[in-house]
């Protein structure tokens, strides 16, 4: 039931009482002049639509599941505790790719993950502007618009297309490490490195086999919660940049179709340190 509800919300539901659905809010807003403000840094953007969509998702889910807990990007920014407990918890990124959204660059997604006993159980990611709906449920496979997803089986990094994202930190030291990591992978030589501006959609491309690996420092739990289920169910691995198991709150991730490519990337990366999502405010 949780998966069905999440899919409805992410895709087409919510048009009750004249309320726009999640993709409609995004599709309408993308055409309009946006009121943009910034949060932690000048490049950490937020718009009215981010708040509107998060409110719509959480209020709809709360009606269905009043006892569940919620972690959402904009609620966390407003001071709500970002802590994963054993309770059933929805982990929501209302608009992933806000910077893309601001520029009408068409890589914008809604991401809804669900965890029970701190285990990720399901993930739904909807590409608001092209209609691709990615779903995954633990033990039941991953799909894009009903078609089963399968990761790339490539083991050789010199035949890999690698995706990454730049986090919010843009100081020269951080950027040097970021570029150094990219340089190592490009000189492996990987086929290429891409930055598309949406970590959830980039991770979906790992699940679909369109790219071999993804890594990032500085992403958040709501960027990876839903995608981790989808990638694992498509046969891929999602882990910490240290090579250990994924820690949802750590703001570090390596995901890949094959363990071999993931391990290679882990060995190359110089870490960039970010505070944890579940830090005390
Ligand atoms: C961000 C995007 C971006 C990534 C950041 C994310 P937002 O999410 O996915 O590509 O580099 O780490 O926080 O703020 O657009 O939801
Ligand atoms: Ca954001
Ligand atoms: Ca995001
Ligand atoms: Ca967001």
Number of folded domains that form the chain: 2
Atom of ligand 1 nearest to the CA of 96: 16
What φ, ψ does residue 125 adopt, rounded to 5°? -130, 125
Ligand 2 centre from 153 Cα, in Å?
32
122 plus 166 within the same structural domain: no
Model confidence pLDDT, tens digit, residues 199-212? 999 999 999 999 99
Decide if 278 is inside a domain: no
Q: What local confidence, expressed as pLDDT, does residue 40 receive?
A: 84
Considering the domain architecture, whether residues 179 and 84 belong to the same structural domain is answered as no
Percent of the chain with pLDDT over 70: 96
Beta-bridged to residue 89, according to DSSP, are 69, 115
- The confidence score (pLDDT) of residue 43 equals 87
Residue ranges of alpha helices (H) inside the chain are 2-11, 22-31, 48-64, 73-77, 98-103, 172-186, 199-208, 221-233, 259-268
- Which structural domain, as residue segments, surrounds residue 101? 2-148
Q: Among the three residues 104, 119, 148, which one is the final residue of a domain in this structure?
A: 148
Say if residue 180 is in the same domain as residue 251: yes
Q: For the residues 8-34, what does the mean pLDDT come to?
A: 69
Domain boundary at 148, 178, 193, which? 148
Domain holding 25: CATH number? 3.30.540.10
Nearest ligand 1 atom to alpha carbon 100 = 15
pLDDT at 19 over 60: no
- Are 84 and 121 in contact by the 8 Å Cβ rule? The answer is no
Peptide bond into 189 cis (omega under 30): yes
What's residue 15's pLDDT?
52
pLDDT grade, residue 29 (50/70/90)? confident
Q: How far is the CA of 199 from the centre of ligand 1 (A)?
A: 6
And the tokens for 83? Answer: 């802590």
140 and 202 within one domain? no
Mean pLDDT of 211-221: 98
pLDDT at 11: 75
204: in domain = yes
pLDDT above 70 for 193: yes
Half-sphere exposure of 158 (CA within 13 A, CB side): 3
In a domain, 6, yes or no: yes
Edge-first strand order for the sheet with 192-194 is 192-194, 161-164, 213-217, 252-256, 237-239
Question: Do 137 and 207 belong together in one domain?
Answer: no
> Do 129 and 8 belong to one domain?
yes
Say what the ipTM of the complex is.
0.98
- Does residue 54 line the site of ligand 1, with CB under 6 A? no
Identify which of 29, 98, 218, 275 to mutate to test ligand 1's pocket (most ligand atoms within 8 A of the CB). Answer: 98
According to the model, what pLDDT value does residue 16 have?
44
Q: Is residue 172 part of a domain?
A: yes
Residue 197 Cβ < 6 Å to ligand 1: yes
Identify whether 277 is part of a domain: no
- How far apart are the C-alpha atoms of 66 and 58, rounded to whole Å? 10
């Amino acid at each position: 039931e949780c998966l069905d509800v999440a899919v409805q919300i992410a895709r087409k539901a919510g048009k009750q009482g004249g309320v726009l659905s999640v993709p409609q809010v995004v599709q309408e807003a993308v055409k309009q002049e946006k009121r943009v403000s910034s949060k932690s840094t000048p490049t950490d953007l937020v718009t009215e639509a981010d708040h509107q969509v998060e409110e719509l998702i959480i209020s709809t889910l709360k009606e269905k599941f009043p006892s569940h807990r919620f972690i959402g990007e904009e609620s966390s920014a407003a001071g709500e505790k970002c802590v994963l407990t054993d309770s059933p918890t929805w982990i929501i990124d209302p608009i992933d790719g806000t910077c893309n959204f601001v520029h009408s660059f068409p890589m914008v997604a809604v991401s809804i993950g669900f965890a029970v006993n701190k285990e990720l159980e399901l993930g739904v990611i909807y590409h608001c502007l092209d209609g691709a709906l990615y779903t995954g449920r633990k033990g039941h496979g991953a799909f894009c618009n009903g078609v089963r997803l399968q990761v790339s089986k490539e083991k050789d990094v010199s035949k890999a297309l690698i995706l990454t994202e730049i986090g919010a930190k843009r100081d020269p030291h951080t950027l040097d490490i970021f570029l150094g990591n990219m340089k190592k992978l490009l000189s492996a030589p990987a086929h290429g490195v891409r930055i598309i501006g949406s970590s959830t959609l980039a991770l979906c491309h790992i699940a679909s086999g369109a790219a071999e690996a993804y890594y990032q420092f500085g992403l958040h739990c709501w960027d990876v919660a839903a995608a981790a289920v989808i990638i694992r169910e498509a046969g891929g691995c999602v882990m910490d940049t240290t090579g250990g198991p994924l820690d949802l709150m750590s703001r570090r991730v390596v995901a890949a179709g094959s363990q071999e490519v993931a391990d290679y990337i882990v060995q190359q990366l110089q870490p960039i340190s970010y505070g944890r999502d579940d830090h005390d405010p």
